[in-house]
Amino acid sequence: MEGSSAKLSSAAAGQTLALGRGLVSVLREHAQRDRYARAQEEAMRSAVPSIAWAVLLIVSAYIGVQLWLRPSQVWAVWPAYGLQLLAPLAVLAGVRTRMWERHAETLFVVGEFVFTAALVSQVLSRETAIAGIAGFVAVKVMATALFVPWRARRQYASVAFTLALYGLGLVLAPHFADEPRKLHLVAVPAVAGILSVLGVAQAARLRETLLHEAADRDLAVKRLETVLDRMPVGCIISDAELRYVYWNKAAENIFGYSSDEVLGKSAVEVVTPPHLRNLSVRGFEELAQGRNTTVGPMRLENITKDGRTIICEWNAVALTDPDGAFVGMLSMCQDVTEQHRTEQARRELVGQLQEADRMRAAFVATLSHELRSPLNVILGYHELLHEGVFGTLSTAQLEVLDRIGQAARQLLELVTSTLEVSRIQAGRAALNLRLLQPLGLMEQIRSETLELQQKDGVSVEWDLSERLPPVYTDEAKLKVIVKNLLSNALKYTEAGTVKISARAVERGIEIAVSDTGPGIPEDLLPHIFEPFRRGEVDSKKSGAGLGLYLVRFFADLIGAQITVQSTVGQGSTFSVLLPIQPPGILVEPSG
């Protein structure tokens, strides 16, 4: 139960982080009051080029019409027409720069007034060209204002104002005999009116988009909250001032406080005991100052609403807005009190067992050492007796003496092996890794075991590949492994063949010792590497049942893998898979 929830939580943790980040950024955006204004600015900036084109076209068309109707007048006042073209473009370019942007609104309001003044001046003045310039500059500025999403009320007022001027122009026009003035009175407000309507339409579209976005955000927040609430781990979000802003259902279950009871409170005071508050604040500061992006996992003491002390495992992550600024912290916690206690008890028990084991190994080592001396004395006197130093012995006496000698030697072998194993177990088997050529080592083993290989009825074959890669290993330990396997094969095979092979395999070498001996019964096979485990039928053979135990022990030390295949009546094959370098050990090339 505990294990499965732990597994679940680690998978959920990653998901929660992503969700939490999303939630906070959504919450932040949601709270942004000036989002609409920012969207306006954005739209304005992006609309400026198209407005510039529109202005250019309208002014060119106007100049074209004037050229067609009154070419002489146009040539006479060409600087004025030039200004008509350049002035609005300059205003638009200005709006696009950051400096003017902030004053854009004022600029447009001023434009509206200029526009009004221009119209009034047109009506009053006889200088239609000057009035035309003023009017056009005003119209272009107006156009910019109306193209961008203006605040709704002001926008409608502006449209109404423009249309009213247009109406006024229509009413006044017939009272003026002079054609250009008539044209200005009607054309200028008409153009402004068209641009106003376009602006309103664009603003309406933008408002709708923003409304949809807001609705989508609300939905996303709801979904995220539902997911976080269903998380099996406690999810807590604190803001940049270290106050709780979110507390999910699992956190309610762990600490006993409901979300309403803690929201807004300091995130280090509710469940953190006083002596750990500084630690929590430090963790928070590390995240806030960007020195770390995550904190944990760490186990801390916490206090529940009913005053219980529990152990929780915490993971925290910094939450940042899209610009990278710190906005808060998402903490995830799990109540691991039970697990913590069990682990502590287990650690204590392991410590006690290790100590007991160390004492046992030390005791066995001392005992074996002490046993060897009297045994050697027995064997020494046995030799002397056998050689007749103390007088000639009868055949019956010699037979008994042989049995005594055999038993003493067996006992000595047992004691020696036990001593060796206990030395290793007591931690005296240091690993001595160096780069060696396996072929040379195998040849060495071959020559060192020549006597052992002289067994009647058994032929020994060596099949050593010439292309064995050099390996980082402990030579002495590898020798013990191979010699033990070889001596077992020779010991248990009465007649047949013993074959030793070595070949390169993927990422290492494989040394195999196979024989055509009696094989190992299926029920014994899983136990042959255990200490003092011997086959029933082999009790006639010398041995303490420690050979294969040592083989496995040393193989584990040098990172080799031992496999055995055996069929009763057919023989056995022991394979040693030796890696180029023991896994998990970084070997520095020597020299």
Which residues are near ligand ADP by CB under 6 A? 488-489, 492, 515, 517-518, 520, 528, 533-535, 538, 543-549, 572
Q: Whole-number minimum distance, CB 545 to ligand ADP, in Å? A: 4
Joined together, the tokens standing for residue 28 give 């932040």
Nearest-angstrom CA–CA distance, 281 and 294: 14
Q: Whole-number minimum distance, CB 378 to ligand ADP, in Å? A: 22
Minimum CB distance to ligand ADP smaller for 233 or for 458: 458
Q: Give the number of other Cβ atoms within 10 Å of residue 349's Cβ.
A: 10
Minimum CB distance to ligand ADP smaller for 232 or for 496: 496
Helix ranges (DSSP H) in 125-269: 128-147, 152-172, 179-230, 249-255, 259-262
Minimum CB distance to ligand ADP smaller for 458 or for 468: 458
355 forms bridges with which residues in the sheet? none
Q: Whole-number minimum distance, CB 440 to ligand ADP, in Å? A: 25
Are 550 and 421 a contacting pair, CB within 8 Å? yes
Residue 474, phi then psi, degrees to nearest 5:
-95, 110
Minimum CB distance to ligand ADP smaller for 135 or for 543: 543
Minimum CB distance to ligand ADP smaller for 190 or for 524: 524
* Nearest Cα residue to 416 out of 547, 504, 541, 517: 547
Nearest-angstrom CA–CA distance, 462 and 478: 17
Q: Give the number of other Cβ atoms within 10 Å of residue 129's Cβ.
A: 18
Are 538 and 473 a contacting pair, CB within 8 Å? no
Minimum CB distance to ligand ADP smaller for 223 or for 533: 533
Minimum CB distance to ligand ADP smaller for 202 or for 488: 488
Residue 539: DSSP 8-state: G
Q: Whole-number minimum distance, CB 396 to ligand ADP, in Å? A: 31
- The Cα angle at residue 36 between residues 31 and 40, in degrees rounded to 5: 150
Q: Whole-number minimum distance, CB 375 to ligand ADP, in Å? A: 18
Helix ranges (DSSP H) in 258-394: 259-262, 277-288, 337-386
> How would DSSP label each residue in 436-497?
E-HHHHHHHHHHHTHHHH--TTEEEEEEE-S-PPPEEE-HHHHHHHHHHHHHHHHHH-SSEE
Nearest-angstrom CA–CA distance, 319 and 330: 7
Minimum CB distance to ligand ADP smaller for 135 or for 517: 517
Query: Which residue is it, tokens 């807590």?
Result: 236
Are 232 and 250 a contacting pair, CB within 8 Å? yes
Minimum CB distance to ligand ADP smaller for 207 or for 423: 423
Q: Whole-number minimum distance, CB 507 to ligand ADP, in Å? A: 27
Q: Whole-number minimum distance, CB 536 to ligand ADP, in Å? A: 8
Q: Whole-number minimum distance, CB 494 to ligand ADP, in Å? A: 11
Q: Whole-number minimum distance, CB 424 to ligand ADP, in Å? A: 14
